[in-house]
Amino acid sequence: MDDGADLVTELHKSKKNIEKIIGGTEETTTGVVRLRSMAREGVLMYPIIAVNDASTKHFFDNRYGTGQSTLDGIIRATNLLIAGRTFVVCGYGWCGRGIAMRAKGFGANVVICEVNPLYALEAVMDGYNVMKISEAAKVGDIFITATGDINVLRREHFALMKDGVILANSGHFNVEISLPDLDSLAISKKEIRENVEEYKLQNGKRLYLLGEGRLVNLACAEGHPASVMDMSFANQALCVEHLVRHAKELSPQVYGVPKDIDEQVARLKLASMGITIDKLTAEQAKYITSWEEGT
């Protein structure tokens, strides 16, 4: 079971005992992207189930879990009032939209930066201001990265920011905010509150970095709530069972979570919350998959 494809990468570099491994699972979006790349290049040596891609994982963990815990991390670190702040979210994937939704829910004026035109358009239709980072840099009070990529906030953006802005990351590792750029621009640096470092720039502005640019929900709060991780872990456990039973039939590719596992997890979760839902009648089940019926 991997988180970010680091273990897989390590194993594929060292090749130590790799022939004994029958399969693996991956928890994160970033990891899945890297594994798909390995599969495409033909270097992946065993099948992997992308647990991240389960509906009961990424729709919940990435959106609701990351959304709440990112706000939680920022608030614990700073005790700032979110209402009335211009809150810039870089990346409008599932994590980014969870964060945007919660920042809006706490009264922020949310700005979205995206490179994918489809996601950018959804952000527009969801009522957010959408602009380039170089524009957002001039107006934002709080910046949060959630892209899975590197150097999203960098020298050219820091130079444009207002005095007193907050910088935080909720993507992968500590590479989304360029720490080298921040260091090279700063004339001084000090911790002014636990998990809050003040960078004083040559232009006199002060930028505040949370949790050293690491995942702010882990660095400054308690990570995802248990009540969202339970579904990820249920998927992990059931996928490992599936691999034990079926790995021999699978080639070294990246697979989605079997639909019946995904639905089983959703049913268990609803039951645990005391919620009952409808079932299709026989007539409805027939109609929805039939092409001869219909007016």
Considering only residues 117-156, where is the footprint of a copy of itself by CB under 8 A? 117-118, 120-122, 124-133, 148-152
Least distance in angstroms from the C-beta of 107 to a copy of itself: 5
237 binds a copy of itself (CB under 8 A): no
Label residue 41 exposed, middle or buried (CB < 10 Å: 0-12, 13-18, 19+). Answer: exposed
Give the C-alpha separation, 276 to 26, whole Å: 31
What residues have CB less than 8 Å from 237, skipping those under 6 apart? Answer: none
Identity of the residue, 244 or 271, whose beta carbon is nearer to a copy of itself in the bound complex: 271
Least distance in angstroms from the C-beta of 82 to a copy of itself: 6
Least distance in angstroms from the C-beta of 37 to a copy of itself: 5
Identity of the residue, 224 or 242, whose beta carbon is nearer to a copy of itself in the bound complex: 224
Footprint (CB under 8 A) of a copy of itself, residues 38-77 = 38, 41, 43, 55-56, 59-60, 63-65, 67-68, 72, 75-76
Both structure tokens of 154: 């960098």
> Out of 108, 209, 219, 243, which residue is the one contacting a copy of itself (CB under 8 A)?
108
Identity of the residue, 180 or 187, whose beta carbon is nearer to a copy of itself in the bound complex: 180
Identity of the residue, 82 or 161, whose beta carbon is nearer to a copy of itself in the bound complex: 82
Identity of the residue, 203 or 284, whose beta carbon is nearer to a copy of itself in the bound complex: 284
Size of the site for a copy of itself (CB under 8 A): 99
| Per-residue contact string for residues 6-45; x = within reach of a copy of itself by CB under 8 A | x--x-----------------------xxx-xx--x-x--
CA gyration radius, the chain? 22
Cross-strand bridge partners of residue 177: 153
Q: Could you please report the per-residue DSSP string of 175-197?
A: -SB-HHHHHHHEEEEEEEETTEE
> Out of 226, 241, 244, 260, which residue is the one contacting a copy of itself (CB under 8 A)?
226
Least distance in angstroms from the C-beta of 133 to a copy of itself: 6
Identity of the residue, 192 or 288, whose beta carbon is nearer to a copy of itself in the bound complex: 288
> Out of 42, 190, 249, 294, which residue is the one contacting a copy of itself (CB under 8 A)?
294
Q: Are 84 and 101 in contact (CB under 8 A)?
A: no
> Out of 14, 188, 251, 295, which residue is the one contacting a copy of itself (CB under 8 A)?
295
> Out of 70, 109, 170, 236, which residue is the one contacting a copy of itself (CB under 8 A)?
109
> Out of 144, 228, 234, 238, which residue is the one contacting a copy of itself (CB under 8 A)?
228
Least distance in angstroms from the C-beta of 185 to a copy of itself: 18
| C-alpha torsion sign, points 138, 141, 146, 151 | positive
Least distance in angstroms from the C-beta of 18 to a copy of itself: 15
CA distances for 221 relative to 66, 74, 123, 203, angstroms: 11, 8, 27, 32
